[in-house]
Structure 1
Amino acid sequence: MTYIVNDNCIACKYTDCVEVCPVDCFYEGENMLVIHPDECIDCGVCEPECPADAIRPDTDPEAEKWVEFNRKYSEMWPVIVTKKDPLPDAEEMDGKEGKMDLFSEAPGEGG
């Protein structure tokens, strides 16, 4: 099993999860995070830290498509290990539908 980040993270990008990850498997895009599925050790400590409920186990019924999505972008984006402020409209965007339209492939700063 592994954990994934889904589209609930888009336009929010809370980073509470990266501080608790013991293996630094989070990667930062411009407006979301992903987890490298081969680096995740399935500890689950990140899942309850996400205010947007964007981190799910790969056993979740909707998670299958997100495993490869997370893999793809974790290989393109820089690792993130330090908590940062969420995006400016995070509270407003939390829970919104159709956020894939807002997704950016651009990398974040990492760090």
Structure 2
Amino acid sequence: MLVSTTENIGTNYEVLGEVFGVTTQSRNLGSNIAAGLKNLVGGEIKGYTQMLHNSREEAIQRMKDEAKGKNADAIVMMRFDSGSIGNDMQSVVAYGTAVKFIQ
């Protein structure tokens, strides 16, 4: 399924509605320990980076699944939103507009 951050995808379509994909991940103990050490010396916290990457991929897949449920051909104007929940959880939302191509 085509997922685009733009509105113009080179073909005419009808709008089916908004679609969302949401996931919430918790940080593991190893990442928390590494983060504490990195606070002392600086640098990337690879465990957190990987968690956020995985969260984005999961959110995109869930958004695509919702669009497929609406018989969509594509998703346009896709965006991400994220935020922390408490001290050790991260929520990621992928959202966009499901569309059906006009023949």
Range into which the TM-score falls when normalised by the shorter chain: under 0.3
Q: Which structure has greater strand proportion?
A: 2
Bigger radius of gyration among the two: 2
Q: TM-score, normalised by structure 1?
A: 0.26
Higher helix share: 2
